[in-house]
Structure 1
Amino acid sequence: MFKKKKVSGTEDNNKMTDHTKEQDEIRDEIAQVNESTVNTKDGEVDSSENELSEVDKLKAEVALLNDKYVRLYAEFDNYKRRTTKERIELLQTAGKDVIVSMLTVLDDFERAAKAMETATEVAPVKEGIELVHHKLKSLLNHKGLKEMESKGKVFDVELHEAITNIPAPKADLKGKVVDEVEKGYYLNDKVIRFAKVVVGA
């Protein structure tokens, strides 16, 4: 009887050891599953974090480029307004220096007009008018104005405007300017007024 009990006790011990082993194995499997799950979650978090950081970078780049574009557009708009204003001011004051220089001639004409009111002789008045005329021509020549010599020249549509044709007084005046009704002028070698002429036919 004693032997049987001993054997029975050994079997119970073996059963308990097997049961413990099974529990340990189950615990190990659960731990492995939990560890793989955690690793998988960590990988997903890392991936999502990388994606978020890329999106943030792209958003920052877009914001920077947009800021640069807005600044460039504003600078160009300011430049356009400034140049338009300068052009308008230039057109308004383009002839300022010429007008200012001609004020002295205007003063001379006013003095000549007052002198003519009390003048008893024609010669001094005529001389004064000639001096003022010479002063005006000299001033305009200094500004680049030049008279066009037309009389006796071959008629040129680029320089002359024919008022009429008349029979040429001489054979060599056919097709040439016989008379000049209104002078033509150059400004810095560019025609600013055509000469009105009479052409020999």
Structure 2
Amino acid sequence: MKKEEPTSEEKPMNMDEISDEFQQVNEARQNQKTDADVEETEPENNAPDFSAEDKHKEELALANDKFLRLYAEFDNYKRRTSKERVELLQTAGKDVIVSLLPVLDDFERASRAIETAKDITAVKEGISLVHNKFKNLLTQKGLKEMVSKGEVFDADIHEAVTNIPAPDESLKGKVVDVLEEGYLLNDKVIRFAKVVVGA
């Protein structure tokens, strides 16, 4: 092949011209890249901002929804417990009252029997049985009679009505007599024992 000679119209370029041309092409490419980068990055920058904003709005909406649900649930809980408390107060003693009704029936039968009874010992036995039934029922419900006589006086469970000279040296500061029994309900004092204390 024959080497092509430059025509008279095409002048050979010197090194400075080639370097300038190369630099211009490079700058043009750089400008194109930065313009393209700006075009590409602008939507990308906007897209994350836009999606982040949407994400925050969605999270806020979810949090608000959760809050409203919890608030409504708590409000319902308060209303329900308030209603249950009122019902409990209205029927607090229902269980005890229902269990006492048979004892009441026994007392009514004993009362009718007293009017027509010829033998008083049978009536006494009947009343004694009703009394025991009543005490057993109360014991089942957690009632316990205090044992006070002969015990050391304790202001937490006893109420001293009076002091008397102790009949015996060993009874000083102790309960000599019980005027009214004290009771515990589930080991909690519900009535103090009224006692006479030896001095």
The TM-score range, normalised by the shorter chain, is 0.7 to 0.9
CA distance in 2, matches of 1:121, 1:54: 98
Partner of 2:197: 199
* Match status 1:133 vs 2:109: no
* Match status 1:177 vs 2:183: no
The amino acid of 1:100's aligned partner reads V
CA distance in 2, matches of 1:46, 1:170: 103
CA 1:134 to 1:46, structure 2 compared with 1: closer, same or farther past 3 Å? closer
Q: Among 86, 101, 104, which residue is 2:102 paired with?
A: 104
* 3-state SS in 1 of match to 2:159: strand
Map 1:123-162 onto structure 2 (within 5 A): 123-162=121-160
CA distance in 1, matches of 2:145, 2:44: 88
CA distance in 2, matches of 1:98, 1:137: 13
The amino acid of 1:63's aligned partner reads A
* Deviation sequence 1:29-72 (CA, Å, 0-9, x none): xxxxxxx9998677656644553333222222211111111111
Partner of 2:21: none
Shift of 1:193: 1.4
Partner of 2:61: 63
Shift of 1:84: 2.9
CA 1:38 to 1:156, structure 2 compared with 1: closer, same or farther past 3 Å? closer
The amino acid of 2:111's aligned partner reads A
* Deviation sequence 1:143-170 (CA, Å, 0-9, x none): 2221111111110111111111111122
CA 1:39 to 1:143, structure 2 compared with 1: closer, same or farther past 3 Å? closer
* 3-state SS in 1 of match to 2:150: coil
The amino acid of 2:69's aligned partner reads R
Query: Which has the higher mean CA deviation after the structures are superposed, 171-180 or 40-49?
Result: 40-49
CA distance in 2, matches of 1:160, 1:100: 31
The amino acid of 1:95's aligned partner reads G
CA 1:182 to 1:40, structure 2 compared with 1: closer, same or farther past 3 Å? same
Q: Among 186, 189, 192, which residue is 2:187 paired with?
A: 189
Unaligned runs of 5+ in 2: 1-33
Q: Among 56, 81, 92, which residue is 1:94 paired with?
A: 92
Partner of 1:80: 78
* Deviation sequence 1:80-128 (CA, Å, 0-9, x none): 3223333333343333222111101000111111112223443222222
| RMSD (CA atoms) | 2.7
Partner of 2:113: 115
Higher share of residues assigned helix:
1
Matched residue count: 169
* 3-state SS in 2 of match to 1:186: strand
The amino acid of 1:59's aligned partner reads K
CA distance in 2, matches of 1:145, 1:40: 88
The amino acid of 1:158's aligned partner reads D
**What is the TM-score when the length of structure 2 is the normalising length?**
0.72
CA distance in 2, matches of 1:146, 1:44: 85
